[in-house]
Amino acid sequence: MHVHNNQKAAAASTATTAADPGTDSVRQQIEALGPWFHNLHLPGGVQTLPKHFLGGDFPNFKWQEIKPFVPEDLSGWRVLDVGCNAGFYSFELARRGASVLGIDVDAHYLAQARWAAGQLGMESQVEFREMQVYDLARSGETFDLVWFMGVFYHLRYPLLALDLLAERTRRIMMFQTLTMPGDSVYTDTADCNIDDRTPLLESGWPRMAFIEHRLANDPTNWWAPNHAGVEAMLRSSGLRIEARPGHEIYLCVPDAQAQGARAIYGSQYESATGVIRGGG
């Protein structure tokens, strides 16, 4: 993510003149660890980024939409939080009883997450690891719940990541991506005549816009699929959409009937990752 500079002013707003010396010290640590992207609510009513540039209490307002769709009791569940950032979702899922692995490429955000775990007394339930999503190809671990929010469109190789995460999802994947406007779905996509490719121009044809330079001044935003494209990619990776908890958010489950595409892409996956999976 490329938001550090954009957030400096907002992060500075976390410093106030609270009277409690303990709280003051926490606020100073928050400022030293900034800039922040997640507004975490810490003990003593302290927040890490109360005036978020995305508006409101982010990502808590998204969590409020999603949480009715997540089992209240996640005891015994192993959860993977991809691109965990400062750990907002990792902590919420751990509060429901899950054992959580949060991964991120950015050491800056992981330092925030580890510090916050200490503040929240949640170090035994949540582990944070610095790694690329693609590194998971070399791990055999699977997860009951894969939380894949806010990362897909930041990836240069998004389908490689989606394929390997789908294979590691035992029960649920919560998927979110930046999208193009529009909800239409053109269903007649089984084949397309090479001499008449006009169906590809239909508004509901699955597609993904490539962002060569910037979107929202962020050069790490590479892709913006449309809704039909999200549906098609999730299906093609062996997932079935069960619910849409919010805008651009998809709750998926593994679909044993939808493994067909793996036979077609399998050798590319293995060549790209160097990992032979076997079993097809």
Ligand X SMILES: C[S@@+](CC[C@H](N)C(=O)[O-])C[C@H]1O[C@@H](n2cnc3c(N)ncnc32)[C@H](O)[C@@H]1O
Residue from 34, 35, 83, 204 in contact with ligand X (CB under 6 A): 83
Q: Tokens for 244, please give them.
A: 């849409």
Residue from 10, 70, 133, 224 in contact with ligand X (CB under 6 A): 133
Asked if 106 is part of the footprint of ligand X (rule: CB under 6 A), the reply reads yes
Beta-strand relationship, 208-210 and 223-225: antiparallel
Cα angle 79, 168, 271; round to 5: 140
Asked if 34 is part of the footprint of ligand X (rule: CB under 6 A), the reply reads no
CA–CA separation, 168 and 158 (whole Å): 15
Query: 154 or 227: whose CB is closer to ligand X?
Result: 154
**H or E segment to which residue 232 belongs:** helix 227-236
- Closest approach, Cβ 265 to ligand X, in A, equals 19
Alpha helix stretches (DSSP H) within 126-178: 158-167
Residue from 36, 109, 143, 222 in contact with ligand X (CB under 6 A): 109
Query: 177 or 236: whose CB is closer to ligand X?
Result: 177
How big is the site for ligand X, counted in residues (CB under 6 A)?
16
- Closest approach, Cβ 120 to ligand X, in A, equals 17
> Among 4-12, 114-122, 148-156, 259-267, which window interacts with ligand X (CB under 6 A)?
148-156
Query: 58 or 265: whose CB is closer to ligand X?
Result: 58
Nearest Cα neighbor of 87 from 53, 48, 50 is 48
- Closest approach, Cβ 198 to ligand X, in A, equals 36
- By CB under 6 A, what part of segment 199-258 binds ligand X? none
SS (H, E, C) 53-111: CCCCCCCHHHHHHHHHHCCCCCCCCEEEEECCCCCHHHHHHHHCCCEEEEEECCHHHHH
> Among 47-55, 137-145, 146-154, 269-277, which window interacts with ligand X (CB under 6 A)?
146-154
CB 211 within 8 A of CB 223: yes
- Closest approach, Cβ 81 to ligand X, in A, equals 7
Residue from 18, 54, 105, 215 in contact with ligand X (CB under 6 A): 105
Asked if 132 is part of the footprint of ligand X (rule: CB under 6 A), the reply reads yes
Residue from 39, 47, 85, 90 in contact with ligand X (CB under 6 A): 85
CA distances to 72, 94, 141, 212 from 135, in Å: 30, 23, 12, 25
> Among 101-109, 182-190, 247-255, 270-278, which window interacts with ligand X (CB under 6 A)?
101-109
CA–CA separation, 266 and 254 (whole Å): 17
Asked if 59 is part of the footprint of ligand X (rule: CB under 6 A), the reply reads yes
Query: 88 or 205: whose CB is closer to ligand X?
Result: 88
Nearest Cα neighbor of 166 from 216, 233, 211 is 233
Q: How does DSSP classify residue 121? A: T
The residues binding ligand X (CB under 6 A) are 1, 59, 83, 85, 103-106, 109, 132-133, 149-151, 154-155
